[in-house]
Amino acid sequence: MQQALETTESINPDTKTKMMNFFRSVLWLN
The pLDDT assigned to 2 comes to 64
The pLDDT assigned to 21 comes to 93
Residue partners of 25: CB distance under 8 A and separation at least 6: none
pLDDT by 10s per residue, the chain, length 30: 566 666 656 667 888 899 899 989 988 876
d(CA 26, CA 30): 6
* Residue 14 CB-density burial (10 A; 0-12 exposed, 13-18 middle, 19+ buried): exposed
Distances (CA, A) of 3 to 6, 9, 16, 25: 5, 10, 14, 18
The pLDDT assigned to 4 comes to 67
Q: What's this model's pTM, rounded to 2 decimal places?
A: 0.46
d(CA 19, CA 13): 10
